[in-house]
Structure 1
Amino acid sequence: MKRSLRRVGGLLVGGGVEPHAVAGEVAKVLVPVADTSPKFGKRTTSRAECVLYTFIIEMRRTRVDMVALRSLEPETILAANDAEPLIKSRERVDAYGEVFTPKYMVASMLDLVQAELERDPEFVNKTFFEPAAGDGNFLVAILHRKLVAIQSRFTHREIPNEALFALASIYGIELLRDNCEIAQSLMLAEFVEFLTRLGIECGPETDIYCAARHIISVNVKCGNTLTGFNEQKEPLIFSWWHRVEGDSRSVCREDFTFASLREAEAGLFDFFTSPDYAICHIDQVQEEILS
Protein backbone atom coordinates (compact mmCIF):
# COMPACT_ATOMS: atom_id res chain seq x y z
CA MET A 1 0.00 0.00 0.00
CA LYS A 2 1.52 3.27 -1.11
CA ARG A 3 -0.08 6.25 0.61
CA SER A 4 -0.02 9.80 -0.65
CA LEU A 5 1.47 12.23 1.84
CA ARG A 6 -1.33 14.64 1.07
CA ARG A 7 -3.62 12.45 3.16
CA VAL A 8 -2.09 13.93 6.31
CA GLY A 9 -3.47 17.41 6.75
CA GLY A 10 -1.15 19.00 9.27
CA LEU A 11 1.86 18.95 11.52
CA LEU A 12 1.76 20.15 15.10
CA VAL A 13 4.83 19.79 17.27
CA GLY A 14 4.47 20.06 21.02
CA GLY A 15 5.05 17.77 23.97
CA GLY A 16 8.49 19.14 24.69
CA VAL A 17 10.58 16.13 23.64
CA GLU A 18 13.57 17.55 21.78
CA PRO A 19 11.50 19.54 19.26
CA HIS A 20 14.41 20.15 16.88
CA ALA A 21 15.07 16.43 16.48
CA VAL A 22 11.43 15.41 16.25
CA ALA A 23 10.44 18.13 13.82
CA GLY A 24 13.48 17.60 11.64
CA GLU A 25 12.52 13.98 11.15
CA VAL A 26 8.75 14.30 10.96
CA ALA A 27 8.82 17.33 8.66
CA LYS A 28 10.33 15.01 6.04
CA VAL A 29 7.22 12.88 6.27
CA LEU A 30 4.23 15.15 6.62
CA VAL A 31 2.99 17.80 4.23
CA PRO A 32 2.60 21.35 5.62
CA VAL A 33 -0.87 22.48 6.64
CA ALA A 34 -0.98 25.13 3.93
CA ASP A 35 0.75 25.91 0.66
CA THR A 36 1.40 29.53 1.54
CA SER A 37 4.73 30.17 3.26
CA PRO A 38 5.45 33.07 5.60
CA LYS A 39 9.13 34.04 5.80
CA PHE A 40 11.53 34.06 8.69
CA GLY A 41 14.42 36.20 7.51
CA LYS A 42 15.67 34.87 4.18
CA ARG A 43 14.38 31.35 4.75
CA THR A 44 10.98 30.36 3.43
CA THR A 45 9.12 28.45 6.13
CA SER A 46 5.98 26.34 5.94
CA ARG A 47 2.98 26.90 8.21
CA ALA A 48 3.80 23.60 9.90
CA GLU A 49 7.33 24.76 10.68
CA CYS A 50 5.82 28.07 11.75
CA VAL A 51 4.03 26.22 14.55
CA LEU A 52 7.27 24.57 15.59
CA TYR A 53 9.21 27.82 15.67
CA THR A 54 6.48 29.43 17.72
CA PHE A 55 6.98 26.66 20.27
CA ILE A 56 10.76 27.15 20.34
CA ILE A 57 10.52 30.93 20.53
CA GLU A 58 7.98 30.78 23.36
CA MET A 59 10.14 28.32 25.28
CA ARG A 60 13.00 30.80 25.05
CA ARG A 61 10.77 33.72 25.95
CA THR A 62 9.59 31.98 29.11
CA ARG A 63 13.20 31.02 29.88
CA VAL A 64 12.39 27.33 30.10
CA ASP A 65 15.56 25.48 29.11
CA MET A 66 16.89 22.01 29.77
CA VAL A 67 19.78 23.10 31.98
CA ALA A 68 17.51 25.11 34.27
CA LEU A 69 14.88 22.38 34.39
CA ARG A 70 17.33 19.79 35.68
CA SER A 71 18.06 21.92 38.73
CA LEU A 72 14.47 22.62 39.78
CA GLU A 73 11.72 20.70 41.52
CA PRO A 74 8.58 19.96 39.46
CA GLU A 75 6.33 22.17 41.56
CA THR A 76 8.57 25.18 40.92
CA ILE A 77 8.37 24.95 37.13
CA LEU A 78 5.11 26.61 36.24
CA ALA A 79 3.47 28.17 33.22
CA ALA A 80 3.31 31.92 33.31
CA ASN A 81 -0.44 32.32 33.51
CA ASP A 82 -2.05 29.54 35.54
CA ALA A 83 0.55 27.79 37.72
CA GLU A 84 0.57 24.75 35.43
CA PRO A 85 3.35 22.18 36.05
CA LEU A 86 5.59 21.70 33.03
CA ILE A 87 7.54 18.62 34.19
CA LYS A 88 6.83 15.53 36.31
CA SER A 89 10.32 14.99 37.71
CA ARG A 90 13.94 15.92 37.15
CA GLU A 91 14.67 12.27 36.41
CA ARG A 92 12.22 12.27 33.50
CA VAL A 93 13.74 15.46 32.15
CA ASP A 94 17.20 13.88 32.31
CA ALA A 95 16.10 10.59 30.80
CA TYR A 96 13.62 11.72 28.15
CA GLY A 97 13.80 15.51 27.85
CA GLU A 98 10.17 15.54 28.98
CA VAL A 99 8.78 19.08 29.21
CA PHE A 100 5.07 19.75 28.74
CA THR A 101 3.71 22.61 26.67
CA PRO A 102 1.57 25.00 28.79
CA LYS A 103 -2.07 25.46 27.83
CA TYR A 104 -1.73 29.11 26.84
CA MET A 105 1.01 28.15 24.39
CA VAL A 106 -1.08 25.29 23.00
CA ALA A 107 -3.90 27.75 22.38
CA SER A 108 -1.57 30.22 20.66
CA MET A 109 -0.14 27.54 18.40
CA LEU A 110 -3.56 26.19 17.43
CA ASP A 111 -4.66 29.71 16.57
CA LEU A 112 -2.12 29.55 13.73
CA VAL A 113 -4.11 26.76 12.09
CA GLN A 114 -7.56 27.92 13.17
CA ALA A 115 -8.85 28.06 9.60
CA GLU A 116 -8.01 24.41 8.90
CA LEU A 117 -9.09 23.30 12.36
CA GLU A 118 -12.41 25.12 12.75
CA ARG A 119 -13.55 27.00 9.64
CA ASP A 120 -12.55 24.98 6.57
CA PRO A 121 -15.52 23.30 4.79
CA GLU A 122 -13.80 19.97 5.43
CA PHE A 123 -12.62 20.81 8.96
CA VAL A 124 -14.10 17.64 10.47
CA ASN A 125 -11.90 15.47 8.24
CA LYS A 126 -8.75 17.60 8.43
CA THR A 127 -6.04 15.35 9.83
CA PHE A 128 -3.76 16.40 12.69
CA PHE A 129 -0.77 14.47 13.98
CA GLU A 130 1.16 15.03 17.23
CA PRO A 131 4.59 13.29 17.13
CA ALA A 132 5.38 13.89 20.82
CA ALA A 133 1.94 13.71 22.39
CA GLY A 134 2.86 13.85 26.07
CA ASP A 135 -0.28 13.53 28.17
CA GLY A 136 -2.47 14.85 25.38
CA ASN A 137 -2.61 18.61 25.84
CA PHE A 138 -2.51 19.21 22.06
CA LEU A 139 -4.71 16.24 21.20
CA VAL A 140 -7.44 17.25 23.64
CA ALA A 141 -7.30 20.90 22.60
CA ILE A 142 -7.60 19.97 18.91
CA LEU A 143 -10.54 17.69 19.67
CA HIS A 144 -12.22 20.37 21.79
CA ARG A 145 -12.02 22.95 19.01
CA LYS A 146 -13.37 20.54 16.43
CA LEU A 147 -16.28 19.54 18.67
CA VAL A 148 -17.23 23.15 19.38
CA ALA A 149 -17.21 23.86 15.64
CA ILE A 150 -19.33 20.77 14.99
CA GLN A 151 -21.93 21.96 17.49
CA SER A 152 -22.36 25.19 15.56
CA ARG A 153 -22.44 23.60 12.09
CA PHE A 154 -24.50 20.41 12.40
CA THR A 155 -27.92 19.34 13.61
CA HIS A 156 -28.36 17.57 16.93
CA ARG A 157 -28.97 14.31 15.08
CA GLU A 158 -25.78 14.65 13.02
CA ILE A 159 -23.49 15.58 15.90
CA PRO A 160 -22.65 12.06 17.25
CA ASN A 161 -21.39 10.77 13.90
CA GLU A 162 -19.52 13.97 13.07
CA ALA A 163 -17.92 13.91 16.52
CA LEU A 164 -16.64 10.38 15.85
CA PHE A 165 -15.24 11.41 12.47
CA ALA A 166 -13.51 14.36 14.15
CA LEU A 167 -12.00 11.99 16.69
CA ALA A 168 -10.84 9.74 13.86
CA SER A 169 -8.92 12.64 12.30
CA ILE A 170 -6.57 13.13 15.27
CA TYR A 171 -3.39 11.07 15.62
CA GLY A 172 -0.56 10.95 18.12
CA ILE A 173 2.55 9.05 19.18
CA GLU A 174 3.95 9.20 22.71
CA LEU A 175 7.17 7.57 23.89
CA LEU A 176 6.14 6.95 27.51
CA ARG A 177 3.38 4.49 28.35
CA ASP A 178 1.92 6.40 31.31
CA ASN A 179 1.63 9.59 29.27
CA CYS A 180 0.01 7.73 26.40
CA GLU A 181 -2.65 6.21 28.64
CA ILE A 182 -3.39 9.59 30.19
CA ALA A 183 -3.72 11.17 26.75
CA GLN A 184 -6.13 8.46 25.62
CA SER A 185 -8.21 8.83 28.78
CA LEU A 186 -8.38 12.62 28.52
CA MET A 187 -9.45 12.48 24.88
CA LEU A 188 -12.24 10.04 25.73
CA ALA A 189 -13.32 12.20 28.69
CA GLU A 190 -13.46 15.30 26.45
CA PHE A 191 -15.56 13.42 23.91
CA VAL A 192 -17.99 12.02 26.49
CA GLU A 193 -18.34 15.33 28.32
CA PHE A 194 -19.19 17.12 25.08
CA LEU A 195 -21.95 14.70 24.06
CA THR A 196 -23.33 14.40 27.59
CA ARG A 197 -23.60 18.18 27.86
CA LEU A 198 -25.75 18.14 24.70
CA GLY A 199 -28.03 15.49 26.17
CA ILE A 200 -26.66 12.70 23.95
CA GLU A 201 -26.35 9.39 25.77
CA CYS A 202 -22.71 8.29 25.85
CA GLY A 203 -22.32 5.83 28.70
CA PRO A 204 -19.80 2.95 28.67
CA GLU A 205 -22.45 0.56 27.38
CA THR A 206 -23.35 2.64 24.30
CA ASP A 207 -22.04 2.03 20.79
CA ILE A 208 -20.78 5.58 20.44
CA TYR A 209 -18.67 5.30 23.61
CA CYS A 210 -17.19 1.95 22.53
CA ALA A 211 -16.47 3.29 19.05
CA ALA A 212 -14.77 6.41 20.45
CA ARG A 213 -12.61 4.37 22.81
CA HIS A 214 -11.61 2.06 19.94
CA ILE A 215 -10.74 4.91 17.56
CA ILE A 216 -8.57 6.55 20.21
CA SER A 217 -6.72 3.29 20.85
CA VAL A 218 -6.01 2.94 17.13
CA ASN A 219 -5.02 6.58 16.53
CA VAL A 220 -2.98 7.36 19.65
CA LYS A 221 -0.09 4.94 20.11
CA CYS A 222 2.81 4.42 22.46
CA GLY A 223 5.99 4.30 20.44
CA ASN A 224 8.95 6.16 19.00
CA THR A 225 8.22 8.69 16.26
CA LEU A 226 11.84 8.75 15.11
CA THR A 227 12.09 4.99 14.57
CA GLY A 228 8.49 4.27 13.68
CA PHE A 229 8.32 1.35 16.15
CA ASN A 230 6.19 0.62 19.20
CA GLU A 231 7.30 -0.67 22.60
CA GLN A 232 7.61 -4.22 21.23
CA LYS A 233 9.90 -2.99 18.42
CA GLU A 234 7.13 -3.63 15.92
CA PRO A 235 6.07 -1.14 13.24
CA LEU A 236 3.56 1.46 14.40
CA ILE A 237 0.27 0.85 12.60
CA PHE A 238 -2.45 3.46 12.22
CA SER A 239 -5.69 3.61 10.22
CA TRP A 240 -7.26 5.90 7.69
CA TRP A 241 -10.99 6.29 8.32
CA HIS A 242 -12.50 7.02 4.88
CA ARG A 243 -15.99 8.43 4.65
CA VAL A 244 -18.18 6.42 2.30
CA GLU A 245 -19.55 8.64 -0.47
CA GLY A 246 -23.29 8.99 -0.28
CA ASP A 247 -23.56 7.65 3.28
CA SER A 248 -22.58 10.14 5.96
CA ARG A 249 -22.63 7.52 8.71
CA SER A 250 -20.43 4.89 7.10
CA VAL A 251 -16.68 4.48 7.13
CA CYS A 252 -14.11 2.34 5.36
CA ARG A 253 -11.03 1.61 7.47
CA GLU A 254 -7.59 1.09 5.92
CA ASP A 255 -4.50 0.35 8.01
CA PHE A 256 -1.03 1.70 7.22
CA THR A 257 2.37 1.72 8.88
CA PHE A 258 3.79 5.01 10.09
CA ALA A 259 7.02 4.14 8.26
CA SER A 260 5.07 3.92 4.99
CA LEU A 261 4.77 7.71 4.96
CA ARG A 262 8.54 7.97 4.68
CA GLU A 263 8.68 5.16 2.15
CA ALA A 264 6.02 6.80 -0.02
CA GLU A 265 7.98 10.05 -0.03
CA ALA A 266 11.11 8.17 -1.08
CA GLY A 267 9.23 6.29 -3.78
CA LEU A 268 9.64 2.95 -2.02
CA PHE A 269 7.08 0.14 -1.93
CA ASP A 270 5.38 -0.65 1.37
CA PHE A 271 5.04 -4.42 1.84
CA PHE A 272 2.56 -4.07 4.71
CA THR A 273 -0.76 -5.74 3.88
CA SER A 274 -3.77 -4.11 5.49
CA PRO A 275 -6.68 -6.25 6.66
CA ASP A 276 -9.82 -5.84 4.57
CA TYR A 277 -12.30 -4.28 6.96
CA ALA A 278 -15.97 -4.27 6.03
CA ILE A 279 -17.67 -0.94 5.48
CA CYS A 280 -19.74 -0.13 8.53
CA HIS A 281 -21.37 2.72 10.43
CA ILE A 282 -18.72 4.65 12.31
CA ASP A 283 -20.33 3.81 15.65
CA GLN A 284 -19.70 0.11 14.88
CA VAL A 285 -15.96 0.22 14.09
CA GLN A 286 -15.13 -1.46 17.39
CA GLU A 287 -16.51 -4.71 15.95
CA GLU A 288 -13.63 -4.81 13.42
CA ILE A 289 -15.62 -6.94 11.01
CA LEU A 290 -13.60 -8.16 8.03
CA SER A 291 -15.05 -8.17 4.53
Structure 2
Amino acid sequence: MKSIVVLPAADQVVIAPKSVGSKILISKQLCTEWMDVMALDSLLSHAAFRCACVIGSHFNRHSGQAFLTLETLARTLQVCERTAWTASKELERRGYVIIKRREFGIGTRKTASGAKIEFRAAGGKGVANIYLPAYARAPVATSNANKNFAARCDLLWERSLQSASSKVAAKCKPTLTSSSKKNPLPAKEPIAGNGLGPLMPIIFADIGDALYRSWFSKASIISESEETLYIGFESRFFCNAVTAKFGEKLLGWCQIMDPQLESVQLVDLSKKLEG
Protein backbone atom coordinates (compact mmCIF):
# COMPACT_ATOMS: atom_id res chain seq x y z
CA MET A 1 0.00 0.00 0.00
CA LYS A 2 1.37 3.38 -1.02
CA SER A 3 1.57 6.18 1.51
CA ILE A 4 1.80 9.91 0.91
CA VAL A 5 4.44 11.91 2.77
CA VAL A 6 3.80 15.65 2.74
CA LEU A 7 6.98 17.67 3.17
CA PRO A 8 6.88 21.11 4.88
CA ALA A 9 5.13 23.56 2.59
CA ALA A 10 7.15 26.34 0.97
CA ASP A 11 6.13 29.97 1.08
CA GLN A 12 2.79 30.25 -0.63
CA VAL A 13 2.64 32.54 -3.62
CA VAL A 14 -0.28 34.90 -3.95
CA ILE A 15 -0.67 36.48 -7.36
CA ALA A 16 -2.87 39.55 -7.17
CA PRO A 17 -4.68 40.80 -10.26
CA LYS A 18 -2.87 43.62 -11.99
CA SER A 19 -4.66 46.91 -11.70
CA VAL A 20 -4.74 49.48 -14.45
CA GLY A 21 -1.76 51.81 -14.20
CA SER A 22 0.05 49.62 -11.69
CA LYS A 23 3.65 50.50 -10.89
CA ILE A 24 6.42 49.04 -13.07
CA LEU A 25 8.95 47.31 -10.79
CA ILE A 26 11.34 45.96 -13.44
CA SER A 27 11.82 48.42 -16.28
CA LYS A 28 13.68 47.52 -19.44
CA GLN A 29 16.55 49.82 -18.43
CA LEU A 30 16.83 48.21 -14.99
CA CYS A 31 16.84 44.74 -16.53
CA THR A 32 19.55 45.83 -18.99
CA GLU A 33 21.74 47.21 -16.17
CA TRP A 34 21.26 43.95 -14.28
CA MET A 35 22.55 42.11 -17.35
CA ASP A 36 25.48 44.54 -17.73
CA VAL A 37 26.81 43.70 -14.25
CA MET A 38 26.78 39.98 -15.03
CA ALA A 39 28.37 40.53 -18.46
CA LEU A 40 31.36 42.21 -16.76
CA ASP A 41 31.67 39.57 -14.03
CA SER A 42 34.66 37.49 -15.14
CA LEU A 43 33.93 34.83 -12.49
CA LEU A 44 30.47 34.07 -13.90
CA SER A 45 30.43 31.16 -16.35
CA HIS A 46 29.08 31.54 -19.88
CA ALA A 47 26.32 29.01 -19.18
CA ALA A 48 25.17 30.97 -16.13
CA PHE A 49 25.12 34.23 -18.09
CA ARG A 50 23.04 32.65 -20.88
CA CYS A 51 20.71 31.27 -18.21
CA ALA A 52 20.32 34.80 -16.79
CA CYS A 53 19.47 36.11 -20.27
CA VAL A 54 16.67 33.54 -20.62
CA ILE A 55 15.33 34.27 -17.14
CA GLY A 56 15.50 38.03 -17.78
CA SER A 57 13.44 37.69 -20.95
CA HIS A 58 10.59 36.20 -18.87
CA PHE A 59 10.41 38.84 -16.11
CA ASN A 60 7.00 40.42 -15.60
CA ARG A 61 7.69 44.14 -15.36
CA HIS A 62 4.82 44.72 -12.91
CA SER A 63 5.39 41.81 -10.49
CA GLY A 64 9.15 41.58 -11.06
CA GLN A 65 8.90 37.78 -11.26
CA ALA A 66 9.53 35.09 -13.85
CA PHE A 67 7.85 31.67 -13.80
CA LEU A 68 9.97 28.96 -15.45
CA THR A 69 10.13 25.21 -15.22
CA LEU A 70 13.49 23.48 -15.41
CA GLU A 71 12.36 21.78 -18.62
CA THR A 72 11.56 25.14 -20.27
CA LEU A 73 14.88 26.61 -19.14
CA ALA A 74 16.84 23.65 -20.52
CA ARG A 75 14.89 23.59 -23.79
CA THR A 76 15.43 27.31 -24.40
CA LEU A 77 19.15 27.05 -23.63
CA GLN A 78 19.38 23.85 -25.70
CA VAL A 79 21.21 22.05 -22.91
CA CYS A 80 20.38 19.16 -20.59
CA GLU A 81 18.35 19.78 -17.45
CA ARG A 82 21.37 19.15 -15.22
CA THR A 83 23.34 21.92 -16.96
CA ALA A 84 20.39 24.32 -16.68
CA TRP A 85 20.00 23.49 -12.98
CA THR A 86 23.74 24.05 -12.36
CA ALA A 87 23.65 27.41 -14.18
CA SER A 88 20.65 28.63 -12.17
CA LYS A 89 22.31 27.52 -8.91
CA GLU A 90 25.44 29.48 -9.86
CA LEU A 91 23.35 32.62 -10.42
CA GLU A 92 21.70 32.07 -7.05
CA ARG A 93 25.07 31.50 -5.32
CA ARG A 94 26.58 34.62 -6.89
CA GLY A 95 23.58 36.65 -5.65
CA TYR A 96 22.12 37.57 -9.05
CA VAL A 97 18.77 35.78 -8.68
CA ILE A 98 16.45 34.74 -5.88
CA ILE A 99 14.71 31.43 -6.56
CA LYS A 100 11.47 30.59 -4.76
CA ARG A 101 10.87 26.89 -5.23
CA ARG A 102 7.21 25.94 -5.43
CA GLU A 103 5.75 22.69 -4.17
CA PHE A 104 3.28 20.13 -5.58
CA GLY A 105 5.87 18.08 -7.47
CA ILE A 106 5.19 14.33 -7.06
CA GLY A 107 8.14 11.98 -6.66
CA THR A 108 8.79 8.37 -5.71
CA ARG A 109 11.22 7.25 -3.05
CA LYS A 110 12.33 3.86 -1.74
CA THR A 111 12.38 3.20 2.00
CA ALA A 112 15.01 1.12 3.82
CA SER A 113 12.76 -1.91 3.50
CA GLY A 114 12.50 -1.45 -0.28
CA ALA A 115 8.91 -0.21 -0.28
CA LYS A 116 8.08 2.67 -2.63
CA ILE A 117 6.36 5.79 -1.33
CA GLU A 118 5.18 8.94 -3.08
CA PHE A 119 5.91 12.39 -1.74
CA ARG A 120 5.22 16.00 -2.62
CA ALA A 121 8.36 18.10 -2.87
CA ALA A 122 9.24 21.68 -3.75
CA GLY A 123 10.29 22.27 -7.33
CA GLY A 124 8.99 18.94 -8.58
CA LYS A 125 9.16 17.91 -12.21
CA GLY A 126 6.97 20.13 -14.35
CA VAL A 127 6.47 22.76 -11.62
CA ALA A 128 7.53 26.35 -12.40
CA ASN A 129 9.79 28.01 -9.86
CA ILE A 130 9.71 31.77 -9.26
CA TYR A 131 12.80 33.79 -10.24
CA LEU A 132 13.45 37.35 -9.08
CA PRO A 133 16.36 39.55 -10.23
CA ALA A 134 18.77 40.39 -7.41
CA TYR A 135 22.01 42.16 -6.65
CA ALA A 136 24.17 40.95 -3.74
CA ARG A 137 21.25 38.65 -2.80
CA ALA A 138 18.84 41.61 -2.40
CA PRO A 139 15.83 41.94 -4.73
CA VAL A 140 16.48 44.50 -7.45
CA ALA A 141 13.00 46.00 -7.11
CA THR A 142 13.52 46.80 -3.42
CA SER A 143 17.19 47.83 -3.45
CA ASN A 144 18.93 51.00 -4.57
CA ALA A 145 19.62 49.16 -7.80
CA ASN A 146 20.45 51.96 -10.24
CA LYS A 147 23.32 53.39 -8.16
CA ASN A 148 24.57 49.93 -7.17
CA PHE A 149 24.62 48.73 -10.78
CA ALA A 150 26.38 51.86 -12.02
CA ALA A 151 29.08 51.68 -9.32
CA ARG A 152 29.62 47.96 -9.83
CA CYS A 153 29.86 48.33 -13.64
CA ASP A 154 32.40 51.14 -13.32
CA LEU A 155 34.51 49.07 -10.92
CA LEU A 156 34.43 45.95 -13.11
CA TRP A 157 35.21 47.96 -16.24
CA GLU A 158 38.20 49.72 -14.65
CA ARG A 159 39.49 46.40 -13.37
CA SER A 160 39.27 44.85 -16.85
CA LEU A 161 41.35 47.71 -18.27
CA GLN A 162 44.07 47.42 -15.64
CA SER A 163 47.15 45.49 -16.65
CA ALA A 164 50.51 44.98 -14.99
CA SER A 165 52.24 44.41 -18.34
CA SER A 166 53.94 47.16 -20.35
CA LYS A 167 51.67 49.17 -22.62
CA VAL A 168 54.40 49.90 -25.15
CA ALA A 169 54.29 47.82 -28.33
CA ALA A 170 57.31 45.63 -29.01
CA LYS A 171 58.49 47.52 -32.14
CA CYS A 172 57.58 51.04 -30.96
CA LYS A 173 60.14 53.39 -29.46
CA PRO A 174 58.90 55.05 -26.25
CA THR A 175 58.86 58.84 -26.49
CA LEU A 176 58.31 59.79 -22.84
CA THR A 177 61.18 57.88 -21.23
CA SER A 178 64.90 58.54 -20.97
CA SER A 179 67.33 56.86 -23.38
CA SER A 180 69.26 53.78 -22.35
CA LYS A 181 72.40 55.91 -21.93
CA LYS A 182 70.75 58.04 -19.26
CA ASN A 183 68.99 55.08 -17.69
CA PRO A 184 71.27 52.04 -17.95
CA LEU A 185 69.14 49.89 -15.62
CA PRO A 186 67.53 47.01 -17.55
CA ALA A 187 63.76 46.78 -17.67
CA LYS A 188 62.17 44.39 -15.23
CA GLU A 189 60.96 41.11 -16.59
CA PRO A 190 57.17 40.71 -16.73
CA ILE A 191 55.64 38.84 -13.83
CA ALA A 192 55.60 35.15 -14.71
CA GLY A 193 52.22 33.50 -14.38
CA ASN A 194 49.11 34.86 -12.70
CA GLY A 195 47.77 32.49 -10.11
CA LEU A 196 45.54 35.15 -8.56
CA GLY A 197 43.47 35.72 -11.70
CA PRO A 198 41.24 38.84 -11.52
CA LEU A 199 42.58 39.57 -8.01
CA MET A 200 46.06 40.31 -9.39
CA PRO A 201 45.39 43.77 -10.98
CA ILE A 202 43.48 44.89 -7.88
CA ILE A 203 46.41 44.16 -5.55
CA PHE A 204 48.99 45.40 -8.07
CA ALA A 205 47.24 48.76 -8.52
CA ASP A 206 47.22 49.33 -4.73
CA ILE A 207 50.72 48.27 -3.62
CA GLY A 208 52.79 48.65 -6.80
CA ASP A 209 55.28 46.47 -8.64
CA ALA A 210 57.97 45.99 -5.96
CA LEU A 211 55.69 44.84 -3.13
CA TYR A 212 53.61 42.68 -5.44
CA ARG A 213 56.71 40.87 -6.75
CA SER A 214 57.97 40.36 -3.18
CA TRP A 215 54.81 38.94 -1.63
CA PHE A 216 52.24 37.87 -4.25
CA SER A 217 54.08 36.87 -7.43
CA LYS A 218 53.96 33.15 -6.50
CA ALA A 219 50.58 33.20 -4.73
CA SER A 220 47.55 31.50 -6.29
CA ILE A 221 43.84 31.07 -5.67
CA ILE A 222 43.24 27.46 -4.61
CA SER A 223 39.48 27.37 -4.18
CA GLU A 224 36.47 29.49 -3.32
CA SER A 225 33.37 28.74 -1.27
CA GLU A 226 30.28 30.91 -1.00
CA GLU A 227 31.81 33.14 1.70
CA THR A 228 35.56 32.25 1.86
CA LEU A 229 38.46 32.58 -0.59
CA TYR A 230 41.49 30.27 -0.15
CA ILE A 231 44.87 31.65 -1.33
CA GLY A 232 47.99 29.45 -1.38
CA PHE A 233 51.54 30.61 -0.60
CA GLU A 234 54.81 28.74 -0.99
CA SER A 235 55.62 28.56 2.73
CA ARG A 236 54.31 29.22 6.22
CA PHE A 237 56.60 32.24 6.42
CA PHE A 238 54.76 33.95 3.56
CA CYS A 239 51.35 33.17 5.11
CA ASN A 240 52.35 34.77 8.43
CA ALA A 241 54.17 37.71 6.82
CA VAL A 242 51.32 38.60 4.43
CA THR A 243 48.81 38.40 7.30
CA ALA A 244 50.95 40.70 9.47
CA LYS A 245 51.83 43.15 6.71
CA PHE A 246 48.49 43.55 4.91
CA GLY A 247 45.90 42.25 7.40
CA GLU A 248 42.33 43.35 6.65
CA LYS A 249 43.52 45.08 3.49
CA LEU A 250 43.71 41.67 1.83
CA LEU A 251 40.05 41.00 2.60
CA GLY A 252 39.13 44.41 1.13
CA TRP A 253 40.88 43.54 -2.14
CA CYS A 254 39.04 40.22 -2.32
CA GLN A 255 35.68 41.91 -1.66
CA ILE A 256 36.29 44.24 -4.61
CA MET A 257 36.51 41.09 -6.72
CA ASP A 258 33.49 39.43 -5.04
CA PRO A 259 31.35 41.51 -2.60
CA GLN A 260 29.83 38.31 -1.09
CA LEU A 261 33.15 37.15 0.41
CA GLU A 262 33.35 37.40 4.20
CA SER A 263 36.78 35.90 4.91
CA VAL A 264 40.13 34.95 3.36
CA GLN A 265 42.25 31.98 4.42
CA LEU A 266 45.95 31.65 3.56
CA VAL A 267 47.18 28.10 2.89
CA ASP A 268 50.74 26.81 3.24
CA LEU A 269 51.38 24.89 0.01
CA SER A 270 54.68 23.42 1.25
CA LYS A 271 52.73 21.05 3.54
CA LYS A 272 50.89 19.59 0.56
CA LEU A 273 54.18 19.02 -1.27
CA GLU A 274 55.70 17.28 1.74
CA GLY A 275 52.63 15.07 2.09
Larger radius of gyration: 2
TM bucket, shorter chain: under 0.3
Tell me: higher relative CO, structure 1 or 2? Use CA pairs within 8 A at least 6 residues apart: 1
